[in-house]
Amino acid sequence: MSLTVDGPMLFSPYAYEFHEDPYPTYAKLRREAPVYRSDEFDFWAFARHEDVLGAFRNVDAYSNANGVSLDPSAYGPDAHKVMSFLAMDPPRHTRMRSLIGKGFTSRKVAELESRIREITLEHLEPAVECGSFDFITDFAGKLPMDVISELIGVPKPDRAELRRLADLVVHREEGLFDVPRAGQEAALELVGYYEDMVKQRRARRSDDLTSELLDAEIDGDKLTDEEIIAFLFLMVVAGNETTTKLLGNAVYWAWRNPGELAKPFANPARIPDWVEETLRFDGSSQMVVRVTRTPVDVGGTTISEGERILLLIGSANRDEEVFPHADTYDLDRDTTKMASFGNGRHFCMGALLARLEGRVALEELVRLVATYDIEEAGATRVHSINVRGFATLPTTVAAR
């Protein structure tokens, strides 16, 4: 169980029940235990928007150096080997973002739009022609993987297997409080794949981000092979999985709220609002870990140095103090204060790309499809403590 209906809170981010619908738990936490202590899993959790945003912004008091996940195999001083700069503090974090950030400027991301649209149509047009398809398997899972893969230089025949491995890395088994053995083996396979790819690019450059990273330099400082491999691993797991889930969540919640779905179908200029409200209402990134670097006082509770803090992004985005009627899916609301991409120095570098992919994919859906329906009984969710979204989403469409 993720919590008790009466009595003291019992919150487990690993509970399958919690994965199915975390929002009642978040509401209870904000109401009864906004600074929550779990002795079972040895963490504190912040449920209020002001506390989550405050921790994001205060890099002097909250550290990323052990990674962003509670999972024992992903937590600790070696977390940067697979999480790249997500598991670093300044100045190492500043250096990595400076070197890698050259590939994610607003200009470079904008230049990807036409190719993203082509990839979208490669997968969406045949799915729409079929009339019935799985929105995740046949479309939303393929688009981000192809975009990331083209960006970093993964050949087309390898992409399905890399996505399968990435899915295993984020999946959690009920009753197991760590990355399952299959996920750990998948992570090793991914790292091995990228080791080979970096060796190939070092011997012979290509027109891709991996080659750019090998040549990236600031005042003589260059990335090591290990640093590039870690970043590529982060891209395929974080960049692919979160965007897949964003797209699935967007079509699901709009379908559940026909009045809101009608807005972008009547006026495609509203599609960015569809993306933003989905990011707030049911974002794919639900929680991340920090560690206190100094004693902190949060909401009248003193927390010692060296304590693990779980920042509940999904809860912050449903905080009624910031988002009135927060449990209502409303494309007309102001979403500017949402916490979905973090804040401060660790604001998500891939935010522009995720928003672009989301907008383009939904624009083409609205252009090609007059109506769609979801077979809710056949929909299944991913079970992960960090990522929220669908594993399957059976969909029927009527083409325009």
Can you state the percent helix, strand and coil of the chain, rounding each to 5? Answer: 55, 15, 35
Q: Give the pLDDT score at 382.
A: 87
Q: Which CATH architecture has domain 16-399?
A: Orthogonal Bundle (1.10)
Q: What is the mean pLDDT of residues 126-155?
A: 93
Domains of the chain, residue spans: 16-399
Give the lowest-confidence range in 175-189, 235-249, 379-393: 175-189
* Mean pLDDT over the full length of the chain: 91
pLDDT at 198 over 80: yes
Q: Give the pLDDT score at 84.
A: 83
Q: Give the pLDDT score at 133.
A: 98
Neighbouring CB atoms inside 10 A of 241's CB total 25
pLDDT at 51 over 50: yes
Q: Give the pLDDT score at 6.
A: 43
CA end-to-end span of the chain: 45
Kind plus residue range of the DSSP H or E element containing 190: helix 181-203
Chain-centroid distance of CA 374 in Å reads 23
Digit-coded pLDDT (tens) for 145-167:
899 988 899 998 998 898 888 87
333-353 in b/e form (b: 16+ CB < 10 A) is bebeebbbbbbeebebbbebb
Length of the chain (residues): 400
Digit-coded pLDDT (tens) for 329-372:
999 999 999 999 999 888 888 899 999 999 999 999 999 999 99
pLDDT at 394 over 60: yes
| Whether this model's pTM surpasses 0.85 | yes
In SS3 terms, 119-135 reads as: HHHHHHHHHHHHCEEEH
Q: Give the pLDDT score at 63.
A: 95
Neighbouring CB atoms inside 10 A of 267's CB total 11
Q: Give the pLDDT score at 352.
A: 93
Q: Give the pLDDT score at 96.
A: 83
How far apart are the C-alpha atoms of 279 and 283, rounded to whole Å? 4
∠ Cα 249 142 178 (to 5°): 65
Q: What is the mean pLDDT of residues 165-182?
A: 72
Most confident range, picked from 25-29, 219-223, 224-228, 235-239: 25-29
Higher pLDDT, 88 or 295: 295
pLDDT at 312 over 70: yes
Higher pLDDT, 236 or 377: 377
Q: What is the mean pLDDT of residues 89-99?
A: 86
Digit-coded pLDDT (tens) for 279-298:
999 999 999 999 999 999 99
Cα dihedral 148, 150, 152, 157 sign: positive
Give the lowest-confidence range in 20-34, 237-251, 318-332: 237-251
Q: Give the pLDDT score at 280.
A: 98
Give the lowest-confidence range in 110-124, 216-230, 275-289: 216-230
Helix, strand, or coil here: 289?
strand
Greatest alpha-carbon pair distance for the chain in Å reads 63
